[in-house]
Each structure stands twice: as C-alpha cells, then as structure tokens.
Amino acid sequence: MGYDEFEMKSNEKFIVQGGNSLRGEITPSGNKNEALPVLAAVLLTEEPVILHNVPDIADIRSMMDLLESLGVIIEEIGPHSLRFESRQLTHCDPDTAAAREIRGSFLLAGPMLARYGCIRLPAPGGDRIGMRPVQTHLLALRQLGAQIELDSEGQYVMQTDRLCGTSIYLDEASVMATENAIMAAVMAWGRTTIYNAACEPHVQGLCRCLLKMGAHITGIGSNLLTIDGCVRLHGAEYTIQPDHTEVGSFIGLAAVTGSELKIRNAGVDQLKMIRMMFERLGVATDSEGDDLMIPAEQSLRINQESPGIPKIDDAPWPGFPADLTSIMTVVATQCKGTVLIFEKMFESRLFWVDKLISMGAQILLCDPHRAVVSGPSKLQGMPVSSPDIRAGMALLIAALCAKGESIIQNVHQIDRGYERIDERLHRLGADIQRVDY
C-alpha cells in the first residue's frame, strides 16, 4: 500500500494472542514529528523539494491532503520518497475539515505567512491528551508582524504585509510553536532571535532541512536560535531521521515480551535519556554502531538507589519524551517494585490507564498527571479501545505480553503514528490480525 492508496479505516480492529516472544530485526520509520513540519516547509519555495524516509502513516497522508488542497503537486518517486512542487498555489486556505483532523495543520501558518502573506486556519485537531492551546504560536507570529483575528466561524484569519525579524521570547518551549516561528522567520526581513526555543530532534531536523534550502540558522540544538531572513529559498533533497519514539516503543515491546530484537538504524545518538530511563526499569540495551540490541533476558526490576519511590518523568528535550510515558507505564507493570509515572506536560494523557487496570495492572492514578505502578502484574487479554496514538501502541504492547486474546478497537489511532505496525510485528513472530468489524 503506497501513499496514493492509503485510506484511514476506523472500522478495523486488531485481534492479538499474547504471551509469545518475538525475535528478529526491525527498522524504525521516519520521525512523524519531523516529517510534519518538513512537509509544511515545502511551501517556502517554488522549486521542487525531494524528501526521503517519509513515514507512510495516516497523519502524514492528512498533511499531504492539506498541501494538495493548497495546490501543491506531490509525486511518489520511490518507497518513502516524495517530490513536492509548490510553484503555483491555487488556494491560500487549506481544506477546513481536513485541517481539523490533525494538530500538524497549524504548521502551515508560518510558511504561508512567510511566502504568501495570508492563511485561514481552524483550531487544530489531533490527540485529546490535554488543552494544547495555540497561544504560543500566535504570540510568536504576531511579534514577527502577523495580524491574527478569530472570525465568526472560529477560524484564525492571519495576514501580513511583511514579516520582520525581531526578538521572540516564547512563554513555553513549545515544539510546534518553535517550528512555526522558525518557518516564518527564515524569510522575514532582518534577524530573528528565538529564546526558550524547543530543541527536540525533530526541531533540529526541520532546521537542517531549511539549511539545505538556503536558510540561515544558528544555535541548532540549543534553546536560543538566531535566524537571518533571506529573500527566497531554493529546492533541496532531505532525508527524515528515524523516529526515536518508535524506537522507544520497540524497546518496551521487547522488554515485556522477553524478546531479543535488533533495531536497525535506530539513531542511537538521540537515545541517551530514553535508554537511561529504561535502565531505571531494569531494561538493558546495547549499541552496535547505529543499531540497538535488546537482549531477551532482562532483570525488569525498578532500580531504587535512594529512599522514596523512583520516578519516570517527562520534560522538554533533552529530558525524557512525553510521547513515551504511555509505553513506560506498560513496562512498569512487568517490573518488580514500585515507580511513579509523572506526566507533567499533558493533563489528560494518563486517563487511559483504567484499561491497563482492567487487564490486571496494579496502578493507582493519583491525579491527572501522576500514576503509581507496582509490579510485576500478570496481565489478562481483553477487549480495549485505543484512545490516542501513544496509548494505543501501549495497549498493543500490553496485549502482546498478556495471557490470552485481546481485541483492540479504534486502531486507526495507532495507524496515525505507526506505519503498518501489525505487518511489521507479525514478521517478528507476533500473533496479530487486522480485521474489519
């Protein structure tokens, strides 16, 4: 199934028989959270942009639909390789219904204001894991010279005669707001400095892509970016880096199923904090060049070196990624000891743990941000529904280590972030079927 054939089907479910060990090699897909802003960045030039290692997932298909609704010509030139041409746009407003489907739609604001001076966008969609407001985006774009109003239909009408470089201090280190500010600033008049910028690997990837297109950006990888605007950007060829969230998901899968896995091209340099937190749960990993090895034999014991309950808590990069707290919650259910999962960034992300509790996990949900997990627990397969991308993958991992059969509904949520995950895991020995219902 290629990009042109991809169709998100909400009437599919996974039937999973748990308790089997897996074995083999798996390669992570391209980073979804890098691909989304890089796709938006193709709007900044009228010359062709070629992207490689683009993940074939639902959210990327939705973003491509939005680009096509603006008049971008997209051609599939090989497996996970696409050619984009934004020479002549037919519309300045993307399809409203499609824009409401994914949060990444708001990334169109920066490049459209930079190159065309206008865009109209609804409030973005995406996972319901918290409030996730867009005020930081608006703050940055307004400081660069955009006029933004909310119309009677609840859509943001943005326009500018000219964006001008300025000093921006973000009120939070928001990844997408940083990316929007960067894309608006690369063609603004003069110099822009962005303080308290997000510096996640996907933000760095966007910057490297823009450098190839002729942008002038320094401070990449830090929380202070300096951008000297230029009149125009040119075409480029760029490869999306591996998805560290998917790598973390595979580490967790191997740990709880007692599996020996080799993750090829894992982007090991980006995994220092991820591997450190897995070590806290007794999960060992070994690197061989850019490949990551997960041995079958794991201690799965909470590492408690001081008084009190150890914790796994998320933070902006280079802290532990929020997208992996769901995976770590499942791993913790199989570890001897007690650990606090502290999800600081999204106030609704832990509400799915009731499904794990119904499978037999010992979890105390203290409040919207904190859950205490005690283990090990013998999980029992049962019907569950995927509430969002990351919790959906966590439930799939739980089902694969549980005894008996699990039925996972609403799997289109998992498909939004994990490319053909059932087929890839089946090749490792997982007993998983995708069926209509």
Average pLDDT, the chain: 92
Band (pLDDT 50/70/90 cuts) for residue 283 is very high
Among 191, 224, 239, the domain-final residue is 239
Q: Between 8 and 356, where is the model more confident? A: 356
Same domain, 49 and 178: yes
Q: Which amino acid is at 155?
A: Q
Averaged over 376-404, what is the pLDDT? Answer: 95
Same domain? 222 vs 265: no
Query: Smallest Cα–Cα separation from 414: which of 437, 384, 370?
Result: 384
Instruction: Supply the pLDDT for residue 346.
Output: 66
Q: In this structure, are 209 and 348 located in the same domain?
A: no
Q: Which of 256-265, 304-313, 354-363 has the lowest mean pLDDT?
A: 304-313
pLDDT digits (tens, 9 = 90+) for 211-237: 999 999 999 999 999 999 999 999 999
- Any idea what the CATH number is for the domain that residue 80 is in? 3.65.10.10
Q: Which of 36-40, 41-45, 147-151, 427-431 is predicted least confidently?
A: 147-151
User: Are residues 15 and 40 located together in one domain of the fold?
Assistant: no
The residue ranking higher by pLDDT, 97 or 406, is 406
For residues 224 and 308, state if they share a domain: no
The residue with greater pLDDT, 157 or 154, is 157
Number of domains in the chain: 2
Average pLDDT over every residue of 337-355: 88
* Domain termination site, one of 211, 239, 267: 239
Residues 264 and 393 grouped into a single domain:
yes
206 with 106, same domain: the answer is: yes
pLDDT tier at 129, thresholds 50, 70, 90: very low
Of 204, 239, 274, which one is at a domain's C-terminal end? 239
Residue 219 and residue 325 share a domain: no
Per residue in 61-79, pLDDT tens? 999 999 999 999 999 999 9
Indicate which residue of 4, 56, 93, 127 is catalytic: 127
85-89, 142-146, 369-373: lowest mean pLDDT where?
85-89
Which domain does 147 fall in, by range?
32-239
The pLDDT value recorded for residue 10 is: 58
Burial of 101 (0-12, 13-18, 19+ CB in 10 A): buried
The answer on pLDDT for 345 being more than 80 is: no
Same-domain status, 7 and 52 = no
CA distance 276 to 274: 5
Contact 138, 177 (CB under 8 A): no
Same-domain check for residues 252 and 187: no
Q: Identify the band that residue 7 occupies on the pLDDT scale cut at 50, 70 and 90.
A: very low
Question: Do 217 and 276 sit in the same domain of this protein?
Answer: no
Cis? peptide before 318, omega within 30° of 0: yes
Residue range 128-140: mean pLDDT, rounded: 71
How far is 43 from 273, CA to CA, in rounded Å? 34
Q: What pLDDT digit, counting tens, does each position of 12-33 carry?
A: 999 999 999 999 999 999 999 9
pLDDT average, residue stretch 383-393: 93
Looking at the predicted structure, is the pLDDT value of residue 1 above 60?
A: no
DSSP state of 97: H
pLDDT at 132 over 80: no
Active-site residue flag, 127 = yes
Q: Which residues contact 377 (CB under 8 A, 6 or more apart)?
A: 333, 334, 360, 361, 362
- Rounded mean pLDDT of 142-157? 92
Do 146 and 272 belong together in one domain? no
351: confidence class by pLDDT, cuts 50, 70, 90:
confident
Is 227 in a helix, a strand, or coil? Answer: strand
* Per-residue pLDDT tens over the stretch 86-128: 998 877 788 888 888 888 999 999 999 999 999 999 887 544 4
The confidence band for 133, taking pLDDT boundaries of 50, 70 and 90, is confident
Residue 6 pLDDT > 70: no
